[in-house]
A and B are shown apart, each in its own frame.
Chain A
Amino acid sequence: MTAPEVLRVEDLESGYGEMQVLWGVNLRVPERSIVVVLGPNGAGKTTTLRSIMGIVRPWKGKIVFKGQDVTMLKPHEKVARGLSLVPEGRHLFPELTVEENLLLGAYTRLGKENPSDTLELVYNLFPRLKERRQQKAGTMSGGEQQMLAIGRALMSKPSLLMLDEPSQGLAPKIVRDIMETLERLRDEWRLTILLVEQNIAQSLKIADYAYILEQGRIVLEGPAEEVAKREDLVRAYLGI
């Protein structure tokens, strides 16, 4: 598998205050693929994505994005370069309308470009958001809010979309919809996706490659279908 890589994480170490969470994480995300990171609660999945995004400062290691070292850039600089994150818990702007939330997703381009083309694309992907464009984000259902969070992340026209447990707390039917959307984004939008999940079955079905993270270290990796075959092992790692 030698597709050019969009993101490479090398020996990443990070944490909060004195407490180290990540102990040398290595990841590769090839162009136009879906890479999933699985792991139990507290393994450091969110910390990994937040470190890649620059919300948490990496302690050691290297983050290479589209061939450039972006390790120490600020989040807004990374967004401008094409990284985008759908954070755990969504972090929408509850008092703003759906459309204002989406326009804020294009914040780094506002004033320079007209975001209305991207807005139309997002509305095509999620017609439901178009129906609700004037509704306040905070008053929508969990599934709609997750669509909005994904739509907002797409508004910056990213080349890498990262998602932190988008299926959390949603009904199985909606989880399937979201997974299908991610496949569409890879196949039709030609996006590259780094997905963090706890839903093993659903995410391994759409992913190309999988990593298992445990206590801040990668303990298993491989093509998704092979990892899926060793589901007993994965379950043991994830403690379920």
Chain B
Amino acid sequence: MSNERHVHVSLRGVTKIFRGAGGTPPVHALGPIDLDLRRGEFFAVVGPSGCGKSTLLEVLAGLSEVTEGEVRFEGKPIHGEIMDGVGVVFQEDACFPWMNIYDNIAFGLRQTSITATEIEGRVKRALSMMGLTPFAQSYPAQLSGGMRQRVCIARTLVLQPRLILLDEPFGALDQQTRLLMGEELLRLWRETGATIFLITHALDEAAMLADRIGVMSARPGRLLEIVETGWARDRDSRIVETDEFGRITARLWQWLRGESMKSIDQSSTAA
């Protein structure tokens, strides 16, 4: 029972099978998966393309109903409804093209009872943190893909969620920005004490940011291994110089090499 307090999200036997639409066979995308996310931890997930990472995130968010198994958030079971305190950054660009950047970021806050002054403060802080202040009045179409993704991150962070789910949020960024954004995320994580669940295809990113890294198998996605990094809480991107960082990345690659080949085989036989 004492363990309950430390578990933020728990998955038990979670399986997702997409019913085939229009004569196509059903797709077993995920599971079964058992996993506990600890309160306040930084958990990263790596896995071959198409292995069900985004599906796992949607299940965690409550956006997608599980076929089998159970998801609990803060002790309460989730049945395809979104819980308060969960924030999501999607893989796809989700900026609203009809609003300027400021309004995009403020939109979620304006749907709550938070005061206007508080909203303004939070949005301005988020804008400056993401390097978007000069673009507050611009529209998404005027921004690059990487900047738009930063808007989506800012928009989620201003809500100060207790559980933050990120689906390859830095995918559209160059390597340098990626590292700096990673540091920002770490700082935020330390300051807010939120639990972070980050999907990434970059092994070094996972190795640098996370406390634990879940390695997923080719479809249907299962957890093959959970790698503990053992980093101190106040780490930054300089850990990439350490030997331990190299060992962790190598270990992830060992696990993933075979799975990635399977995943490529899967897609070439499917084609």
Q: Do A and B bind each other?
A: no
